[in-house]
Structures are given as structure tokens and as C-alpha cells.
Amino acid sequence: MTAKFEADSAFLIRGRGLVLAGWVVEGRIKPGMTLSIPSFPQKLEVQGIEMITLLPTAKVRPDIVGIRFSLFGEQESLLWRNLDVKGKIFEFDNGTI
């Protein structure tokens, strides 16, 4: 089973992990699912999913969610900060890392 996710942004929360923010467009994303990103050396495993609360004046959809992945080394953190994800569709699967 797979799920599709439209990304809006990617960021790092120090001490928590890497976050991909956006909207689920198909299926369900659950902890333990994996995501492959071509610029990353390994698959990313979903650690948690949280709703992101925005100010009422924000110019984005109200149903935005954050998908958190476990922390990696400095090299992966730099790749994550420079990752251009806006509007891209990512596919998650139930595969193992």
C-alpha cells in the first residue's frame, strides 16, 4: 500500500527531526512507512505525523500536516535544508528501511 503527499516545505526541528510539511492527497501515511528521496543516501522512516496550526491570515490550505523523520547526520541535515519540495508529490510505502 502506498500514499501520496504534496509537499509545501521541508525543515529541521533541532532535537526532534526532519519535517516534510504539506497535504496527503491519496491514501494514509502512518509511522513506520518509508520515503525514498533521490538525493538522500537512505530511505526515510516516518516517526510521527502532526497537524500544523497556522495563523488565520496564512495564505496556505488549513489542513497542512507535518511528517517527522528521525534525525540524521550533518550531511543529511544540509541536504534537507536545501531540498526544494514545494509542489512536488512524494510517494510513501510500507517497505522496510
- Residues 33-71 have pLDDT tens digits of 999 887 777 788 999 998 877 666 666 666 789 999 886
Is the pLDDT at 79 greater than 80, yes or no? no
Q: How many domains does the chain have?
A: 1
- Tell me if 30 is assigned to some domain: yes
- Tell me if 71 is assigned to some domain: no
- Tell me if 41 is assigned to some domain: yes
State the chain's mean pLDDT as an integer. 82
Q: What is the pLDDT of residue 61?
A: 64
- Tell me if 36 is assigned to some domain: yes
- Tell me if 74 is assigned to some domain: no
- Tell me if 15 is assigned to some domain: no
**pTM over 0.85, yes/no:** no
Q: What is the pLDDT of residue 54?
A: 65
Share of the chain above pLDDT 70, in %: 85
- Tell me if 38 is assigned to some domain: yes
Is the pLDDT at 1 greater than 70, yes or no? no
Residue 50 and residue 93 in contact, taking contact as beta carbons nearer than 8 Å: no
Q: How far apart are CA 85 and CA 97, in angstroms?
A: 22
Its domain, for residue 94, covers 1-7+25-47+88-97
